[in-house]
């Protein structure tokens, strides 16, 4: 059954809002240990201010977003300006300008390690096409949701029965400036494919199947860097986490799957939490409570859950709060991204 235009818009907007909601829930816990999170907040159950152990987002009020959402909005704007194509040099320049603006505000929420390295290489004269040859972290995956919204599975140029190749092409184009490695592209492809599949009506399981397929193909792209397979780890984690008692899941995700900025940990953690088939709000709150790169894990999980479940995924009050606190205008951007998606179908 082909989803209606209204349904597609609802699910795409819920994906973008889910990214922002998850990001904001994880803002006060980002880069903190489980012990620090439990001391400051216990288990996250809603938007809260940054606590005493929070260094990166020190002093930020409840529902504030971080670089995850800000860079996703930047990607969306550049995709619209480029009629669906993300120009690598323009993207690099935009990232540099974004970080300078953040630094001028005194923010510590700056570019991640892979993106920072790539941007510095560009400033040092390395061609943009080569700058991302070492990027393996989750920076590309955290901001890839607009690509998933703008790119249909099975769109123009797709090959294979599942049509995943065109999606991976788009994810690679959006990743190569900073994360042009098999690990970086696989992580971004997984999230983009799950979002795109959800927008087209896939169930959680179906969206995760597409994430695994896209990660497997994405791993063959870009520069090879040693690291565990995101596709294989996701398949294993989907099955294993479901067998873990509820009160032990946070510890298992933190200790066994991993919650660092490494794509093969954080992307897998986000998808494993999605696979539990719990209430979406409960899922992103859990993601914000597990330690490590909580804002990014919760943002990625939120994007996939929004795409799959649509507007019903998120409480109206949470949507209003995160958009008001951060002056976000995601509806218009989503409409513009869906226009690109529609053009790719023709």
- Cβ(211)–Cβ(193) below 8 Å: yes
Alpha-carbon span 222 to 44, nearest angstrom: 37
- Cβ(164)–Cβ(193) below 8 Å: yes
- Cβ(208)–Cβ(242) below 8 Å: no
pLDDT tens for each residue of 288-312: 999 999 999 999 999 999 999 999 9
Q: Which fold has domain 5-29+46-222+302-345?
A: ADP-ribosylglycohydrolase fold (1.10.4080)
pLDDT of residue 89: 77
pLDDT of residue 110: 65
217 burial type by CB count under 10 A (0-12 exposed, 13-18 middle, 19+ buried): buried
pLDDT of residue 328: 96
Predicted TM-score of the model (pTM)? 0.94
Beta-bridge mates of residue 292: 32
pLDDT of residue 91: 84
pLDDT tens for each residue of 3-16: 777 799 999 999 99
pLDDT of residue 105: 61
pLDDT of residue 96: 82
pLDDT of residue 92: 81
pLDDT of residue 255: 93
pLDDT of residue 213: 97
pLDDT of residue 164: 95
What is 105-164 written as a DSSP string?
TT-S----HHHHHHHHHHHTT--HHHHTTT--BTHHHHT-HHHHHH--TT-TT--STT-H
For the chain, residues with pLDDT lower than 50 are: 1, 155-161
pLDDT tens for each residue of 142-182: 999 999 999 999 743 333 345 799 999 999 999 988 999 99
pLDDT of residue 127: 83
pLDDT of residue 87: 82
pLDDT, averaged across the chain: 91
Per-domain boundaries in the chain: 5-29+46-222+302-345
- Cβ(29)–Cβ(44) below 8 Å: yes
pLDDT of residue 108: 64
């Amino acid at each position: 059954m082909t989803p209606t235009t209204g349904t597609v818009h609802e699910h795409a907007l819920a994906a973008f809002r889910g990214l922002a909601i998850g990001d904001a829930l994880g803002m006060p816990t980002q880069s903190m240990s489980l012990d620090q999170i439990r001391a400051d907040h216990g288990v996250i159950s809603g938007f809260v201010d940054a606590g005493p152990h929070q260094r990166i987002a020190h002093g930020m009020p409840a529902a504030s977003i971080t670089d995850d959402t800000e860079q996703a909005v930047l990607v969306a704007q550049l995709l619209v300006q480029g009629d669906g194509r993300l120009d690598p040099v323009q993207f690099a320049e935009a990232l540099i300008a974004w970080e300078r603006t953040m630094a001028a505000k005194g923010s510590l929420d700056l570019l991640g390690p892979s993106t920072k390295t790539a941007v510095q290489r560009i400033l040092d004269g390395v061609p943009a096409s080569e700058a991302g040859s070492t990027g393996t972290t989750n920076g590309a995956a955290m901001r890839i949701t607009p690509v998933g919204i703008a790119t249909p599975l099975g769109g123009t140029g797709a090959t294979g029965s599942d049509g995943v190749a065109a999606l991976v092409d788009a994810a690679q184009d959006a990743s190569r400036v900073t994360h042009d490695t098999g690990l970086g592209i696989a992580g971004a492809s997984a999230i983009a494919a799950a979002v795109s599949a959800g927008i087209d009506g896939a169930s959680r399981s179906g969206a995760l199947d597409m994430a695994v397929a896209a990660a497997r193909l994405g791993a063959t792209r870009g520069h090879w860097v040693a690291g565990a397979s995101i596709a294989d780890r996701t398949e294993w984690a989907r099955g294993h986490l479901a067998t873990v008692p509820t009160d032990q899941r946070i510890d298992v995700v933190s200790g066994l799957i991993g919650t660092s900025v490494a794509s093969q940990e954080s992307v897998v953690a986000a998808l494993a939490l999605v696979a539990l088939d719990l209430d979406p709000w409960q899922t992103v709150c859990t993601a914000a409570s597990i330690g490590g790169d909580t804002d990014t894990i919760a943002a990625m999980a939120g994007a996939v859950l929004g795409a799959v479940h649509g507007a019903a995924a998120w409480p109206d009050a949470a949507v209003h709060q995160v958009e008001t606190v951060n002056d976000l205008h995601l509806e218009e951007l989503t409409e513009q991204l869906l226009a690109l998606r529609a053009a790719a179908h023709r």
